[in-house]
Chains A and B, each alone.
Chain A
Amino acid sequence: MGFRFNVALVFIMGFMAGVILPGCISYQFVRQLRGAEVMPPDSRLKAGRTTLSEVLSLYGAPEKIEALGDHDLLIYERTLYSNSGIAIGIPLGDFAMINPEISARGRLGRYDTLALFFTSDGILREMVYTKGSGYPYLKTILEEQSTSEAYIRD
């Protein structure tokens, strides 16, 4: 009998929570992914030797192509956005026309990027790879940027 009472109590509390809490506490997490995985450059890519044709057959069509003076840039990129938010409020709108609420939201964009620089003859000149999606979400978004600094190089 005591067991039944406890079950009923749990569901009463669940019902009250279901009715009251959605206006009080909410948490949301949304992930947006754009683009396919970008493989890091391996031993098949060699600056000064690898051709544009070889890169295209290995990596396929790039996401972006840019001309930089006398050389060209191919960019392979995957973008990962993570949005999260938590809100705590008191739903008094029906009684007092106000809904006091405090919320915290954040959006973090992380990029996996492979940038390949080619000469005008289509020979790989330089490559840069960054795996931004490996950064931890909370640590990265909560980390304060260092204060602004200016460097002047003579």
Chain B
Amino acid sequence: MKFIGNVIVALGVISLCASCAMFGKNKEHHGFDARWLDQCTAGTTTAADVVKLFGAPSHMVKLSNGNAYVYECSVSKGMGIWLVLLSFGNYETQYDRAVFFFNNKDILTHYGLSKHAGDSSYGLPF
């Protein structure tokens, strides 16, 4: 009787634990280093200099008084948990971005940098 009870308990635990979890990571990589910005100076650096340092931009935008070159890479992390009746998922994407603004003569006027790709994290959705 005790053996049957233990079997029932074990089966109950196994069925309640009939769950699985998933982890995943995606990366849209564009290799640029924030330290390269030290070599950029507004008023003197040209668009050609930036392209030589950073490579081809992820995209370009035509502005009212020049152009903007955007460099972007992202890291996404996902996590899913399937329990017996419940399933939860969380997917987070964060970006590293560098933006360079050029005037009509392709001279750098402003630039900005955001580095958040490293902040992407696994977690639960609440």
> Do B13 and A35 touch across chains, with their CB atoms under 8 A apart?
no
Q: Tell me if A's interface is mostly helix, strand, loop or mixed.
A: mixed
Q: Tell me if B's interface is mostly helix, strand, loop or mixed.
A: strand
Q: Given B9, B12, B85, B99, which contacts A27 in the complex, CB threshold below 8 Å?
A: B85
* Chain B: interface size category: 35 or more
> Do B99 and A33 touch across chains, with their CB atoms under 8 A apart?
no
> Do B63 and A36 touch across chains, with their CB atoms under 8 A apart?
no
| A31-69 Cβ-contact flags toward B at 8 Å (1 or 0) | 111111000000000000000110111011111011111
> Do B64 and A30 touch across chains, with their CB atoms under 8 A apart?
no
Q: Does A132 contact B (CB under 8 A)?
A: no
> Do B9 and A65 touch across chains, with their CB atoms under 8 A apart?
no
> Do B64 and A120 touch across chains, with their CB atoms under 8 A apart?
yes
Q: Does A115 contact B (CB under 8 A)?
A: no
> Do A122 and B16 touch across chains, with their CB atoms under 8 A apart?
no
> Do A122 and B112 touch across chains, with their CB atoms under 8 A apart?
no
> Do B61 and A11 touch across chains, with their CB atoms under 8 A apart?
no
Q: Nearest chain A CB to B37's CB is how many angstroms away?
A: 11
Question: Chain A: residues with CB nearer than 8 A to chain B?
Answer: 4, 7-8, 10-12, 14-15, 17-19, 21-22, 25-36, 52-53, 55-57, 59-63, 65-72, 82-83, 120-122
9 further contact pairs, Cβ within 8 A, besides A36-B94, A56-B111? A7-B9, A8-B8, A15-B16, A22-B18, A29-B86, A33-B91, A35-B93, A35-B94, A56-B99
Q: List 14 A-B contacts (CB under 8 A).
A: A15-B16, A17-B15, A21-B84, A26-B87, A27-B85, A27-B87, A28-B87, A33-B90, A33-B92, A56-B112, A61-B112, A82-B125, A121-B65, A122-B101
